[in-house]
């Protein structure tokens, strides 16, 4: 089975398992875990931030970031179809107690959108806007890299308006490889940045939230409150350190493999925004004359290719470490045939 449901389906390699088995550990709640400390310092440095905190998941990174940068009742500006709005079971409302104002289109927005939609603080009627969130690469947007030039303008506008800034960079490693820019450059416009180890880097568990040292007590308190404070988590952090050494450079192959799939799908009447296929995600839409997503997923599955229905007529395929170029060429052929087999 060629499993393209997500880049989270990878299994740790023998080298990664060996690194985990041999990890030096201690009680991280006392700051005693050398592997966790090393990972936090390394990721903070890569992102150009003062400090980073290891958390169990990308969702927790997002939720901790909200507690670092907002208060209950605040308004948060966010792009369309953001993970933090769509894929976290309502956590932002349930935990941080914030409300979202969706701006722009398809996950892209501009500094002008921020200026137009930010609500004043201290108003007796309107919810004060305190935070702007950007997602890059954009998951539901088909893996595009958020325009780094616009991100700088958004950061500038936010500072002028007194707003915090958060980058949901669960796939920021992919964004850096796809754009040829450094992680630090992509992270620079933002106060706080989340990155995931369990996506393209192929770790079993883990994300980090990075930002100013002064905000880390709030981050640690939120992580504890959400039940995400761990003990000998160096076993997990060791996988992250291993992945930074051995898997980061392999992301370019995932991107080339996604392009193979996208090009095959583009030969069919399915709608695909090829320009947005910049990383390891391929999203395409099936107009009414074609099979719906459930039919397409079932057909492809019967032919050995597993993809995900992302909506009634939307399909996502995600490449990753455990797939070869040959696997992805096969997947492209199977998906194209499944589309062409008709409604
Ligand atoms: C996957 C993802 C997350 C959440 O990561 P989990 O580890 O699954 O909780 C957050 N943001 C984006 C953009 C993602 O794609």
Given pLDDT bands bounded at 50, 70 and 90, which one contains residue 343? Answer: confident
Kindly tell me if the per-residue pLDDT of 227 is higher than 90: yes
| Cβ 280 under 6 angstroms from ligand 1 | no
Kindly tell me if the per-residue pLDDT of 162 is higher than 90: yes
Given pLDDT bands bounded at 50, 70 and 90, which one contains residue 268? Answer: very high
Contacts by residues 306-313 (CB-CB < 8 Å, ≥ 24 positions apart):
306/1, 306/2, 306/3, 306/4, 306/5, 307/4, 307/5, 307/331, 307/335, 308/4, 308/5, 308/6, 310/140, 310/283, 313/285, 313/286, 313/287, 313/288
Which has the closest alpha carbon to 279: 109, 108, 138? 138
| Cβ 70 under 6 angstroms from ligand 1 | no
Q: Hey, what are 84's tokens?
A: 């933090």
- H helix or E strand, kind and range, residue 339: helix 325-340
Which has the closest alpha carbon to 196: 227, 228, 213, 172? 172
Kindly tell me if the per-residue pLDDT of 306 is higher than 90: yes
Kindly tell me if the per-residue pLDDT of 160 is higher than 90: yes
- Torsion 61-62-67-68 (CA) sign: positive
Say yes or no: do domains 14-246 and 250-340 share a fold.
no
- H helix or E strand, kind and range, residue 46: helix 34-47
| Cβ 196 under 6 angstroms from ligand 1 | yes
Which CATH code for domain 14-246? Answer: 3.40.640.10
Domain chopping of the chain, boundaries: 14-246, 250-340
Residue 107, classed as helix, strand or coil, is coil
Task: Please report the pLDDT score of residue 244 as a whole number.
Answer: 98
| Cβ 59 under 6 angstroms from ligand 1 | yes
CATH class of 250-340: alpha beta
Kindly tell me if the per-residue pLDDT of 13 is higher than 90: yes
Give the Å distance between the CA of 233 and the centre of ligand 1.
20
* Residue having the nearest C-alpha atom to atom 6 of ligand 1: 58
| Cβ 6 under 6 angstroms from ligand 1 | no
Task: Please report the pLDDT score of residue 245 as a whole number.
Answer: 98
Per residue in 165-196, pLDDT (tens digit) is 999 999 999 999 999 999 999 999 999 999 99
Percent of the chain with pLDDT over 90: 99
Kindly tell me if the per-residue pLDDT of 342 is higher than 90: no
Atom of ligand 1 nearest to the CA of 58: 5
- The pTM (predicted TM-score) of the whole model is 0.97
| Cβ 318 under 6 angstroms from ligand 1 | no
Task: Please report the pLDDT score of residue 126 as a whole number.
Answer: 94
């Amino acid at each position: 089975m060629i499993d393209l449901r997500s880049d989270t389906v990878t299994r740790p390699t023998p080298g990664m398992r060996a690194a985990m088995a041999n990890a030096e550990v201690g009680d991280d709640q006392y700051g005693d875990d050398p592997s966790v400390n090393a990972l936090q310092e390394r990721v903070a440095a890569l992102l150009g931030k003062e400090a980073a905190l290891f958390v169990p998941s990308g969702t927790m990174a997002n939720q901790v970031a909200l507690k670092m940068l907002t208060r209950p009742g605040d308004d948060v500006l966010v792009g369309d179809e953001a993970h933090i709005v769509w894929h976290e079971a309502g956590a932002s409302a349930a935990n941080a107690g914030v409300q979202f104002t969706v701006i722009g289109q398809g996950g892209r927005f501009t500094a002008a959108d921020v200026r137009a939609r930010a609500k004043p603080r201290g108003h007796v009627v309107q919810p004060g806007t305190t935070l702007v969130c950007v997602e890059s690469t954009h998951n539901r947007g088909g893996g595009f890299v958020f325009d780094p030039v616009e991100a700088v303008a958004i950061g500038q506008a936010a500072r002028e308006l007194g707003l915090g800034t958060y980058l949901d960079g669960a796939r920021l490693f992919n964004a850096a490889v796809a754009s040829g820019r450094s992680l630090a450059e992509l992270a620079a416009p933002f106060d706080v940045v989340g990155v995931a180890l369990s996506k393209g880097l192929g770790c079993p568990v883990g994300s980090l939230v990075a930002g100013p040292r002064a905000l880390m007590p709030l981050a640690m308190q939120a992580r504890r409150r959400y039940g995400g404070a761990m003990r000998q988590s160096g076993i997990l952090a060791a996988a992250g350190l291993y992945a930074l050494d051995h898997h980061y450079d392999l992301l370019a192959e995932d991107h080339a493999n996604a392009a193979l799939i996208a090009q095959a799908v583009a030969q069919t009447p399915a709608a695909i925004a090829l320009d947005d296929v910049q990383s390891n995600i391929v999203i395409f839409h099936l107009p009414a004359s074609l099979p719906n997503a459930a039919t397409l997923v079932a057909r492809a599955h019967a032919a050995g290719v597993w993809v995900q229905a992302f909506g009634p007529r939307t399909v996502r395929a995600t490449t990753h470490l455990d797939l070869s170029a040959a696997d992805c060429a096969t997947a492209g052929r199977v998906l194209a045939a499944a589309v062409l087999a008709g409604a």
